[in-house]
Chain A
Amino acid sequence: MTTSDAPGSPADPAHLLPSLEPVRLIDPDGTRAAPEAGAGFALPEPAVLLALLRAMVVGRRFDRQADALARQGRLAVYPSSHGQEACQVGGVLALAETDWLFPTYRDCVSLVTRGVDPVEVLTLLRGDWHSGYDPARHRCAPQCTPLATNASHAVGLTYAARRKGEDVAALVLMGDGATSEGDAHEAYNFAAVWNTPVVFLVQNNQWAISVPLRRQSAAPTLAHKAVGYGMRGYHVDGNDAAAVHAVVSRALAEARAGAGPALVEARTYRIDPHTNSDDPRRYRDDSEVDHWRRRDPVARLEALLRREGRLDDAGHRAMVDAADRLAISVRERIARLGGPRPEELFDHVYAAPTAPLRGQREEVRAWAEARRAARAGAPAADTGEEV
């Protein structure tokens, strides 16, 4: 904890200010951006660029597959990442193995990028359980739905890790709408006062369900909010994976070195409806979506790598094949999954079930058995636990 009781004039906050123009390293047409647009950030090494593209190709394919499963009724709901792959992939690949990711409902692609089994990622959205993966194993918190509430968890976690002498940073994903929540404010302030290594990556996709950014905030940019907390703000082109990766990498490195947390605003766009059950025609114009489709993050990085001779058809084919294999395996494995066990409802409420819960568990077990028996069209005694 840093405390400063010394009186004196406040430090000049100029170094905390974000650029008004988002940092960009690759132009939408896939050429290198002019040096001014990069604002001192360098294009990552070719190996990193290839890794970013590979993860985006896989992420895009996964996202399309999940969207299809939702439309077929095989997921309860799916909030799509379409158009935001550069933010999620660029951010996650900037993390070290030992760092933690704090994703939201929007960020399934970030979890796939982090290496979580995609079927486990979809457990929540399939409706089998609230979270399907082991957070400690992947160093990924459960996907968070109450807006901005996971931001303070990241602050606490990195604080605790520092107490244990471990070098752990965290990346919090949040939307533009979430920055209006009191919990975002509280987390920014805690992180700055405690000087914890947290990078808050705001995916400004312009919309919070149906509410546009201008009804959400009067700040010059969302990144400018950082200054009020004494935190560095960065403003980056969220459809440029190279720029997101470069900016988040620097923000993480500075945070680890003790310069405090950072707020990174990535300007991007939610191409799809809020979820598959939303109707965006009630609040936005298709022409706006078309404008952003022409700024596709995956096509942009692919074009640069091809133009600079780092990627050929065979290389690209290999990425697409890997993505297809993942999507097919997701589809097949989801189709084979059984349902969740009703008895499990009582298993994790407390470390050990309380007496009242033991009673309810017994009742539910009996109902479940009767239903299984009824479905099997045979008396319970004959079917046992099988069906």
Chain B
Amino acid sequence: MAEVSLGRALNRALRDALAADPDVLVYGEDVGPLGGVFRVTDGLTAEFGEDRCFDSPLAESGIVGTAVGMAMYGHRPVVEMQFDAFAYPAFQQVVSHVAKMRNRTRGRVALPIVIRVPYGGGIGAVEHHGDSSETYYAHTPGLRVVTPATPADGYSMLREAIACPDPVVFLEPKRRYWATEDVELPVRTAPMDQAVVRRPGRDATLIAYGPTVDTALLAAEAAAEEGREVEVVDLRSLAPFDDATVTASVRRTGRAVVVHEASAFAGYGAEVAARVTERCFHYLEAPVLRVAGLDIPYPPPRLEEYHLPSVDRILAAIDRLQWEAAWVPRPEAARSDGGAAADTGPAHRLEVGA
């Protein structure tokens, strides 16, 4: 075993994929001799040559558009968007072509493309370098959207993404690039489209992904000191969503908090909360809460701590999960008013010896 950072694990995954399959190509901005601004492609051009890992012109739409053509002709391009917010010029190619080609052609043309996007904040960067853009992609049918939280998953999920017949938006939590884990590579973790329980607990479920998994684990540790056993689920795959794992956890614990960096409004957590509510309604002891970014453009670095979910904000949300109370059915009278009372919130709470 050895200490491996997420960045090195991703680098090793690219290296092993290039070695395993001559149709794999890696390209993007500064990914050649420089090795990418985060060094994820470090050494690949030297080892595999300019033919396999190379710098392209500076044009994100062109990068993704050429990848479409390459995939149409039997290649497996792995392209890098330099930063989350600089992937936006490629959005039309991703949404209108990458996501739709298989469907448009009735399954005749598959596009096994991986679009790697370093995303999220927490590295003290100036604007346009901290966006959490996962919802734009996850909202688009035809794309798989995954995000690893650990070096082992970084390796395993990237290998699986490259081998996948569907296009994959591979979101790399950039503030976790330097986080290490004791792991022997190559490694195979759970299948890419499954969520995993990172820490078991029976009192509440924290649902996190990518950069917030570690924060959720720290919060769970702190909660344990206060006597609450909190389960942490790492989603890993944002699209498709692993209802089975999440539903099983919340039905066990009866309480759930979703944690992500992106703004809360119309964010990924809204989808999670809706799905959990639809599937676990009768098991829930409290509404599903969200700890998310504020509904503001990504803040300047000296203020980002207010925006990013912290251990304290997660603990505060756990405290708000109505531990003192349980819900009982409303009296018939209140129910017959056409549902208006339902909008007024928790009016009928009874204490039942919490």
- Docked-complex contact A149 and B142, CB < 8 angstroms: no
- Docked-complex contact B65 and A153, CB < 8 angstroms: yes
Produce 1/0 per residue, A77-94, CB < 8 A to B: 000000000000000000
Category for how many chain B residues contact A: 35 or more
Q: Which one, B92, B193, B244, contacts A149 given CB within 8 A?
A: B92
Residues of B within 8 A of A154 (CB): 69
> Is A269's CB within 8 Å of the partner chain B?
no
> Is A221's CB within 8 Å of the partner chain B?
no
> Is A136's CB within 8 Å of the partner chain B?
yes
Q: Which one, A131, A135, A146, A160, contacts B92 given CB within 8 A?
A: A146
Interface segment, B54-62, B305-313, B332-340?
A: B54-62
A3, A349, A355: most-surrounded residue (chain B CB, <10 A)? A349
> Is A157's CB within 8 Å of the partner chain B?
yes
Residue of B nearest to A185 (CB): B59
- Docked-complex contact A183 and B103, CB < 8 angstroms: no
Residue of A nearest to B101 (CB): A142
Rounded to whole angstroms, the CA-CA distance of A356 and B244 in the bound complex is 10
- Docked-complex contact A356 and B240, CB < 8 angstroms: yes
- Docked-complex contact B102 and A350, CB < 8 angstroms: yes
- Docked-complex contact A130 and B65, CB < 8 angstroms: no
Residues of A within 8 A of B64 (CB): 152
- Docked-complex contact B102 and A135, CB < 8 angstroms: no
> Is B241's CB within 8 Å of the partner chain A?
yes
Could you tell me the distance in whole angstroms from the C-beta of B142 to the nearest C-beta in chain A? Answer: 5
27 A-B contacts (beta carbon < 8 Å): A3-B50, A129-B104, A134-B108, A136-B108, A142-B101, A151-B65, A152-B62, A152-B64, A152-B66, A154-B69, A156-B67, A156-B71, A156-B72, A156-B77, A157-B70, A157-B73, A164-B73, A164-B74, A183-B65, A183-B92, A189-B57, A190-B59, A348-B105, A348-B106, A349-B103, A354-B240, A355-B244
> Is A347's CB within 8 Å of the partner chain B?
yes
Rounded to whole angstroms, the CA-CA distance of A347 and B106 in the bound complex is 8
> Is A155's CB within 8 Å of the partner chain B?
yes
Give 18 new A-B contacts, CB below 8 A, not counting A131-B106, A183-B61, A356-B240: A1-B50, A129-B106, A130-B103, A135-B105, A149-B97, A155-B65, A156-B70, A157-B70, A157-B73, A158-B69, A159-B69, A168-B73, A189-B62, A190-B56, A190-B59, A349-B142, A350-B166, A351-B102
Could you tell me the distance in whole angstroms from the C-beta of B41 to the nearest C-beta in chain A? Answer: 16
Which residues, 69 to 103 on B, are CB-close (under 8 Å) to A? 69-75, 77, 89, 92-93, 96-97, 100-103
- Docked-complex contact B102 and A153, CB < 8 angstroms: no
- Docked-complex contact B62 and A183, CB < 8 angstroms: yes
Residues of A within 8 A of B65 (CB): 149, 151-153, 155-156, 183, 186-187, 190
Instruction: Evaluate whether A131 and B105 lie within 8 angstroms (CB atoms) in the complex, with A149-B92, A152-B69, A183-B92 already known.
Output: yes
> Is B109's CB within 8 Å of the partner chain A?
yes
- Docked-complex contact A163 and B62, CB < 8 angstroms: no
Residues of B within 8 A of A355 (CB): 240, 243-244
